[in-house]
A and B are shown apart, each in its own frame.
Chain A
Amino acid sequence: KAGVTQTPRYLIKTRGQQVTLSCSPISGHRSVSWYQQTPGQGLQFLFEYFSETQRNKGNFPGRFSGRQFSNSRSEMNVSTLELGDSALYLCASSPDTSAGYGYTFGSGTRLTVV
């Protein structure tokens, strides 16, 4: 079955612009999480959605937002881009968040802010 699909793979944006990233989870997976990966900070949790509801949010400014649709697809949006937002953004999906379920990650979207 298809894995977690993230689009686009690469993005170059200018400071001040906004960007929307998309994630299609594995079919049947209801939980979708987003992570930011940078060389300095490593993997940091952004937010998690389950059945269209945001259940957890990481320690990121309000410029970072997301949503989940009824088909479990998710988008994240970053407004007023800053140079420090340059990172690999990873999406992960899981069938459930009960004990024993791991997460399957997508290949990520590489965002470069210039």
Chain B
Amino acid sequence: DGGITQSPKYLFRKEGQNVTLSCEQNLNHDAMYWYRQDPGQGLRLIYYSQIVNDFQKGDIAEGYSVSREKKESFPLTVTSAQKNPTAFYLCASSRTGPSARGAFFGQGTRLTVV
């Protein structure tokens, strides 16, 4: 079955360390997205990519980096520059960039920085 796989589900890191969250999809979707969720807030867009080797900053990109070397993969690195990295991170993909049609979601990664 096609879908999006995020790993790991739970991740613990020490303050000051970079950490990379994995997101893989086998849906042949062009567009992929990373969102962050904090308690009491809606999910907010970190980065998105509409095509391989291209990506754009979302609303809260500071302290994060991404790459899109393959259509199937869109890893997110939380760098030491991110002031408050503890959060729930959600990856999504869709068929086309400008449209929400056919969007699929991963199960999320809960990152805790200690």
Do A and B pair up? The answer is no
Tell me the A residues contacting B by CB distance below 8 Å: none
